[in-house]
Structure 1
Amino acid sequence: MPRCVMSGLSAFLFIGLQLASTSLVAEPLSTPTGEVILTISGNIERTNAGAQAHLDRDMLMALESCVIETSTPWHREPGRFEGPLFRAILSAVGARGEVVHVQALDGFEAEIPVSDLETYDVILAMKHNGETMAIRDMGPLFVLYPFDDYPELLTEMIRFRSVWQVNHLHVP
């Protein structure tokens, strides 16, 4: 089974304080201090770059994360993947929608129903077997479903939703 862990105080500081506000104006996200690897746009409440949310590696790793040990259709052997839960990312930016459009660096796009993210511990994998995922190795972010834990996920539709080289999410 996936092992999901909250990264403690940093997660509280990143999300908890922002959710504590009860005003009608959404609190902005903190500003990234490193290279932005994920941009989120659309129907989101918390931003830090105009109408968008820009997240760097540290901001993503501060969210609730999961370690998934699984086989994939794209790897020869089972691997250990680690990254933030996709639903935690959406929660951190206050996303409101039924679907998320996921875009890769090469322009490939897929639509993922939010219900997938509520049903399964889908992550945006940032590490594979303990190593940061480089662009040439499906990074910086890879939509990963826990395939070995749920055989029903081994379908062409789910493989299509398992986008690698992710750099943008849009919530219509």
Structure 2
Amino acid sequence: MKHLSKLSILFISFIGFIFAGSVLIRAENFGSINNKIGLTINLLNENSDIIEKLELTNEIIHQFKIHTITSSNPFLKGIHKFDGILLSDILDYVSASGDTIVAYALDEYTVDIPAEDVRNYPVLVATTMDGKLLDVRDKGPFWIIYPVDQYDELRSEEYSSRSIWQLRQLTVK
């Protein structure tokens, strides 16, 4: 009986070890997939041909200066703190020039953002809200935020429609 108990304990330990290892492998894979989430930037020429396609990985994105906007948002109740990168900093980083930035969401929603918005306001590409990383279930991984509480003229449907969430790609033309 004692022999059987030791064998049972050994077997259960072995199964537990295998299970723990598989969970660890899955967690590592998830982490590497998560680290690959980035923002694609397409630069177009005057004929609307892609002349350069850049992928801003999380590693690159985390090298930017982080900015904060504390503001209300037409899609949320209350005041929230958003941290992220200024859209103007991203465009400067990729040496983008153009009159329009087309933003694409994961759900295929698209919106045109006039380049003058980026010149006139601190438009944020948010990566966190209230200190928590944005994920796909919560409007992430990136969300364009306008500082509506700092500029009264931004309190309109026109600007609300440009606050695209689940942002995956920007095309500058």
TM-score by length of structure 2 reads 0.74
Alignment of 1:71-150 (within 5 A): 71-150=72-151
Checking the alignment, whether the CA contact within 8 Å between 2:67 and 2:84 is kept in structure 1 is yes
Shift of 1:62: 1.5
Matched pairs, number: 135
Number of the residue aligned with 2:21? none
Deviations 1:38-90 (A, max 9, x none): 1011238xxxxx93110122311212331010000111121100000000001
Checking the alignment, whether the CA contact within 8 Å between 2:44 and 2:52 is kept in structure 1 is no
Number of the residue aligned with 1:166? 167
Number of the residue aligned with 2:16? none
Is 1:58 aligned to 2:59, yes or no? yes
Shift of 1:145: 0.5
- Structure with greater proportional helix content: 2
CA distance in 2, matches of 1:115, 1:63: 21
Shift of 1:167: 0.3
- Percent identical residues: 31
Q: Provide the secondary structure at the position in 1 that maps to 2:78.
A: coil
Number of the residue aligned with 2:3? none
Amino acid at match of 2:156: T
Structure 1 or 2, whichever has the larger Rg, is: 2
Gaps of 5+ in 2: 1-34, 46-50
Number of the residue aligned with 1:37? 38
Deviations 1:12-31 (A, max 9, x none): xxxxxxxxxxxxxxxxxxxx
CA distance in 2, matches of 1:61, 1:70: 23
Gaps of 5+ in 1: 1-33, 45-49
